[in-house]
Structure 1
Amino acid sequence: MRNEVSIENEAAGPDASPGAAPDDPLRQVLVRYWGYEDFLPLQREAMASVLAGRDSLVVLPTGGGKSLCFQAPALLMDGTAVVVSPL
């Protein structure tokens, strides 16, 4: 059985992201380590997938915030993060 989560790139802004409350641990990490107040579109959803323990493939344009999608959850989880990147 294959689990797949597909998030279409809609014109959702940072306020449309679920879980962007000030007490959200991901948002606290975002502010503390990167100094940003809000997520870019689709970042929060991608991070939620990672934190839920799902294998994740994040495809966003250059400058879309892909690196943060694995860096921020890694700060909240125990263990080692494995990231496969063509860079």
Structure 2
Amino acid sequence: MDTTINAVSDIAESKQAHPSSPEIKKKKSRWAKFKKDLWLYILLFPGLVYFIIFKYLPMWGVVIAFQDYSPFLGVFGSKWVGFEHFRHFF
């Protein structure tokens, strides 16, 4: 029985960090993390492209619908007319 208690206490002591030998954990660089997760980024890329093309870019159409849009002036240079186009349409 006494040997069992000694064995358990020896295991508990071996799992504890000794103050004379501190464990130093190296931080991975960003490049190493990127390289490790490269396939995850590759799988993310098509979904991100889909989102940008079909969800984000059409928002410019909503802005243009409320302007007297001129391609030469661009989105920010065109005059804001609000619901004027929609009044004529309906």
Give me the TM-score of the superposition, normalised by structure 1.
Answer: 0.20
Give me the TM-score of the superposition, normalised by structure 2.
Answer: 0.20
Which one has more relative contact order, counting CA pairs under 8 Å at least 6 apart? 1
